[in-house]
């Protein structure tokens, strides 16, 4: 099977996965509670209002009609109206989505930057105290739920040292609006971003660190490293140019899994730091029975994970010519 | 493996010998592995605390073993409000005057319960799916692995939140939500292991003799991949505990069973995080220590499953 066929097959798989995910959403949000109308009906409605609302939402239609209708709505980005804000869900969620992407993107970037460097050094100095200590620190970070890391950082840097604001995304009364840079580039914003992003970076760092260390150990056993050392190249060159570069490949495959973890992490981290992102919005929506918003948030999170899985697979075959397309 | 194979008795002996070898290997692996030993000690301590957290009454002997918790963890006003640690209350009191130390001890049970049950069920499902998928191959494999792929597309925590919110916040629903996602990694890794075992001579000879599929899968192949399942179970305990703690922290915990995550949720809702360090830090440290202990143990088991790692240390 050639590369082209592989990509086409993978694309078909992507479509199937999306369809299955849509169906899962439909089942979760419309079928599971005994009465599917209950979640769309607010308490204290008169029977007439109830009837009207049910008809409005198309909930009096047979299930398969609802299903088709539902899928076409999702495909056109129509998530309905929020029960609480009384606004189209899409308008609420898009801003929150951007905020989440900025936060989690920053966290993942630093997690991988630090993780890869740290892991490479741990592999390079194997058996040393540095490596032993590094493993314990990494495992401790991986064993901590995001909210716990966040609380420790809050206690130290906010309550004790008072260096950072305790939460939110910008100081109230600060400049709002403007372009992308004005929104996400101001020092005020960066001060608010620092702690939540650091929380994510600490938690997500463990996977790339341990994986990088393991693959480094494999690569360092390979003959070509001995040859490079015998050629008399400086250690740093062998480490960075030859050993580390060849160890990065397996990391690509876990990037997708990391995105999934980041989506879950966003829910917790945003709650701890009052970050106005999609994760916190989802918790709020679920707690206040605002199901259209909850569903849209869940839909976006799943979509990001599915697409990252797809991209990781493509990147892998592109980066490693030896891979067989199966 | 014995030469005049495949009478049920010899198979049974082989199975026992295999398991014995595995357990011996396990203990050998723990020798000289400081982290693994530390993990075992911490875990054993938590199990002890969990079992004896509350008074246990044995009816027919008519005795009661006193619990470790000095106070009833749910009784309000056993002390003043938000009292800092003292001799009477080693970890202070909550905003409702509850004893934090007793809550911490009682919470150990919930953690053990969720961790062990969720991990066992997830690995049980994952192992069976991986085994069946690899053994039969063809369309069975295709269907099961596509389902696994789809589960990989589901973000773990958000899914658990939605499911628990819809089904209700009970410990059973929390475990179900965790299990429904957590089996995926075991399924994938067991499948790839079984694929390589399927090609080996012992499976072929069993087939030639006419052993049934079920027999080959569960009596011949399964014992060989079981160590890997143990490894994934250790990690699954860690992930399950983190997931339960996160769910509880977000307010979706079982209100009738006070867990460590829920304790921190209570600090948050009482807006006491700035003052009551004695209330926030103990449950957080407990969660971290517990999960670390199973990850340390997992790392040691990894060396049994993958002996190559032993030379890398």
Q: A with B: how many residue pairs have Cβ under 8 Å apart?
A: 134
CA neighbor of B221 nearest in space, from B234, B207, B237: B207
Is A51 in the same domain as A164?
A: no
Strands B63-65 and B56-58, bridge-based pairing: antiparallel
Is A181 in the same domain as A143?
A: yes
Does residue B203 contact residue B137 with C-beta atoms inside 8 Å?
Answer: no
B-chain residues near A104 (CB < 8 A): none
Is A195 in the same domain as A298?
A: yes
Domain-located, residue A325: no
Domain boundary among A11, A41, A75: A75
> pLDDT over 90 for what percent of chain B?
16
- Top pLDDT among A153 and A233 is at A153
**Cα(A124)–Cα(B82) distance, integer angstroms:** 50
Domain-located, residue A54: yes
**Do the Cβ atoms of B158 and A263 come within 8 Å?**
yes
Q: What is the pLDDT of residues A13-52, one digit of tens each?
A: 889 888 988 888 888 877 555 444 555 555 566 677 767 7
Is A234 in the same domain as A165?
A: yes
Sequence-distant contacts of A51-57: CB under 8 A, at least 24 apart: none
Compute how many other C-beta atoms are within 10 angstroms of the C-beta atom of residue A52.
Answer: 12
Domain-located, residue A87: no
Does residue B235 contact residue B229 with C-beta atoms inside 8 Å?
Answer: no
Is A206 in the same domain as A272?
A: yes
Domain-located, residue A120: yes
Q: Does B264 touch chain A (CB under 8 A)?
A: yes
> pLDDT over 90 for what percent of chain A?
2
* A contact residues 67-106, partner B, Cβ 8 Å cutoff: none
> What three-state secondary structure class fits B144?
helix
Domain-located, residue A81: no
B-chain residues near A297 (CB < 8 A): 158
**Do the Cβ atoms of B158 and A279 come within 8 Å?**
yes
Nearest CA in chain A to B290: A143
Is A313 in the same domain as A215?
A: yes
Q: What is the DSSP secondary-structure string of B147-164? A: HHHHHHTS-HHHHHHHHH
Q: What is the pLDDT of residues A251-283, one digit of tens each?
A: 777 777 788 778 888 899 998 888 888 888 888
Which candidate from A29, A32, A143 shows the least CB-CB separation from B295?
A: A143
Domain count, chain A: 2
Does residue A142 contact residue A203 with C-beta atoms inside 8 Å?
Answer: yes
* The predicted structure's pLDDT at residue A76: 80
Q: Which position has the token pair 């396990």?
A: B26
> What three-state secondary structure class fits A174?
coil
Q: What is the dihedral of CA A243, A248, A250, A255, to 10 degrees?
A: 160
Domain boundary among A45, A75, A105: A75
B-chain residues near A309 (CB < 8 A): 149, 152-153
Residues found in chain B: 313
In chain A, DSSP assigns E strands to none
Nearest CA in chain B to A159: B274
Query: Alpha carbon A37 to chain centroid distance?
Result: 31
Is A137 in the same domain as A52?
A: no
Nearest CA in chain A to B293: A143
Is A106 in the same domain as A248?
A: yes
Which candidate from A140, A261, A297 shows the least CB-CB separation from B288?
A: A140
Provide the token pair at B121.
């069920």
* A contact residues 201-230, partner B, Cβ 8 Å cutoff: 217
* The predicted structure's pLDDT at residue A40: 57
Domain-located, residue A303: yes
**Do the Cβ atoms of B274 and A151 come within 8 Å?**
no
Is A158 in the same domain as A299?
A: yes
**Cα(B182)–Cα(B177) distance, integer angstroms:** 9
Q: Look at residue A179 and tell me whether its pLDDT is greater than 70.
A: no
Query: Mean pLDDT across the stretch A209-238?
Result: 79
Q: Look at residue A243 and tell me whether its pLDDT is greater than 60.
A: yes
**Do the Cβ atoms of B158 and A264 come within 8 Å?**
yes
**Cα(B146)–Cα(A305) distance, integer angstroms:** 16
**Do the Cβ atoms of B35 and A261 come within 8 Å?**
no
Give the mutation candidate from B162, B237, B266, B305 for the A interface (greatest A CB count, under 10 A): B162
Q: What is the pLDDT of residues B89-145, one digit of tens each?
A: 676 777 676 777 888 888 888 889 899 999 999 999 999 999 999 888 889 988 998
**Do the Cβ atoms of B166 and A33 come within 8 Å?**
yes
Q: Does B154 touch chain A (CB under 8 A)?
A: yes
A-chain residues near B185 (CB < 8 A): none
Angle at B225 between CA B222 and CA B230, to 5 degrees: 110
Give the mutation candidate from A143, A158, A166, A273 for the B interface (greatest B CB count, under 10 A): A143
Q: How far is A141 from chain B (nearest CA, A)?
A: 9
Q: Look at residue B83 and tell me whether its pLDDT is greater than 80.
A: no
Is A179 in the same domain as A60?
A: no
With a CB cutoff of 8 Å and minimum separation 6, the contacts of B156 are A260, A261, A264, B181, B182, B243
Q: Look at residue B312 and tell me whether its pLDDT is greater than 50.
A: no
Give whichever of A171-180, A207-216, B57-66 has the largest mean pLDDT.
Answer: A207-216
Query: Alpha carbon A106 to chain centroid distance?
Result: 11
* B contact residues 222-241, partner A, Cβ 8 Å cutoff: 238
Query: Mean pLDDT across the stretch A284-300?
Result: 84
Compute how many other C-beta atoms are within 10 angstroms of the C-beta atom of residue B37.
Answer: 15
Q: What is the pTM of this model?
A: 0.84
What are B99's strand-pairing partners?
Answer: B93
Q: Whole-number mean pLDDT of chain A?
A: 79
* The predicted structure's pLDDT at residue B4: 47
Residues found in chain A: 326
The domain spanning residue A281 has which CATH number? 1.10.3720.10
Q: What is the pLDDT of residues B267-307, one digit of tens each?
A: 888 777 777 777 788 888 899 999 999 988 888 887 777 66
Provide the token pair at A76.
């056109």
Range of the domain at A49: 3-75
Give the mutation candidate from A137, A147, A255 for the B interface (greatest B CB count, under 10 A): A147
Domain-located, residue A82: no
* The predicted structure's pLDDT at residue A235: 76
Domain-located, residue A290: yes
Q: Which position has the token pair 């070509």?
A: A224
Nearest CA in chain B to A308: B153
Is A28 in the same domain as A160?
A: no
Is A68 in the same domain as A112?
A: no
């Amino acid at each position: 099977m050639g590369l082209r066929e592989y990509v086409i097959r993978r694309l078909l798989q992507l479509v199937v996965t999306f369809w299955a995910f849509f169906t899962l959403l439909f089942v979760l949000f419309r079928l599971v509670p005994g009465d599917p109308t209950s979640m769309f009906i607010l308490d204290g409605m008169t029977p007439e209002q109830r009837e009207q609302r049910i008809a409005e939402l198309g909930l009096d239609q047979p299930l398969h009609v609802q299903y088709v209708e539902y899928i076409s709505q999702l495909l056109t980005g129509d998530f309905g109206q929020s029960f609480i804000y009384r606004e189209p869900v899409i308008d609420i969620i898009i801003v929150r989505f951007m905020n989440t992407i900025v936060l989690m993107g920053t966290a993942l970037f630093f997690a991988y930057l630090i993780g890869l460097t740290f892991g490479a050094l741990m592999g390079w100095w194997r058996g040393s105290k540095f490596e032993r200590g590094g493993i314990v620190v990494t495992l401790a970070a991986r064993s901590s739920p995001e909210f716990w890391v966040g609380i420790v950082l809050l206690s130290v840097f906010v309550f004790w040292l008072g260096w950072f604001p305790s939460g939110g995304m910008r100081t109230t009364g600060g400049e709002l609006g403007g372009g992308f840079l004005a929104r996400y580039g101001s020092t005020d914003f960066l001060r608010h971003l620092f702690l939540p992003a650091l929380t994510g970076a600490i938690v997500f760092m463990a996977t790339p660190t341990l994986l990088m260390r393991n693959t480094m150990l494999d690569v360092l056993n390979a003959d070509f490293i001995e040859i490079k050392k015998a050629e008399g190249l400086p250690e740093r060159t062998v480490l960075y140019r030859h050993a580390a570069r060849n160890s990065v490949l397996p990391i690509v495959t876990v990037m997708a899994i990391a995105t999934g973890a980041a989506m879950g992490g966003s829910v917790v981290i945003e709650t701890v730091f009052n970050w106005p992102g999609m994760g916190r919005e989802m918790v709020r929506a679920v707690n206040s029975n605002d199901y259209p918003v909850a569903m849209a948030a869940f839909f976006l999170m799943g979509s990001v994970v599915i697409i990252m899985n797809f991209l990781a697979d493509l990147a892998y075959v592109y980066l490693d010519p030896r891979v067989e397309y199966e | 493996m014995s030469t005049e194979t495949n009478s049920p008795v010899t198979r049974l002996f082989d199975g026992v010998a295999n398991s014995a070898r595995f357990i011996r290997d396990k203990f050998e692996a723990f020798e000289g592995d400081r982290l693994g030993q530390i993990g075992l000690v911490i875990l054993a301590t938590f199990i002890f605390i969990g079992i004896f957290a509350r008074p246990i009454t044995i009816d027919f002997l008519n005795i009661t073993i006193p619990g470790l918790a000095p106070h009833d963890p749910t009784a309000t006003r056993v002390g003043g409000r938000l009292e800092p640690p003292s001799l009477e209350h080693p970890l202070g009191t909550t905003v409702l005057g509850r004893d934090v130390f007793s809550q911490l001890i009682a919470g150990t049970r919930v953690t053990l319960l969720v961790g062990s049950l969720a991990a066992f069920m997830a690995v049980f499902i994952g192992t069976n799916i991986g085994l069946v998928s690899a053994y039969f191959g063809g369309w069975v494999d295709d269907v099961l692995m596509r389902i696994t792929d789809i589960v990989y597309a589901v973000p773990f925590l958000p899914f658990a939140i939605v499911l628990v919110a819809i089904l209700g916040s009970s410990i059973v629903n929390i475990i179900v939500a965790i299990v429904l996602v957590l089996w995926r990694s075991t399924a994938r890794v067991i499948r790839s292991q079984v694929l390589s075992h399927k090609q080996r001579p012992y499976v072929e000879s069993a087939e030639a003799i006419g052993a049934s599929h079920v027999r080959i899968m569960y009596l011949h192949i399964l014992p060989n991949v079981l160590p890997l399942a143990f490894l994934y179970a250790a990690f699954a305990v860690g992930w399950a505990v983190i997931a339960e703690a996160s769910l509880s922290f977000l307010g979706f915990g079982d209100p009738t069973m006070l867990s460590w995550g829920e304790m921190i949720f209570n600090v948050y809702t009482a807006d006491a995080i700035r003052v009551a360090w004695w209330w926030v830090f103990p449950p957080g440290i407990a969660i971290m220590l517990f999960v670390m202990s199973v990850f340390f143990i997992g790392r040691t088991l990894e060396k049994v499953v993958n002996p190559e790692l032993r030379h890398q240390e």
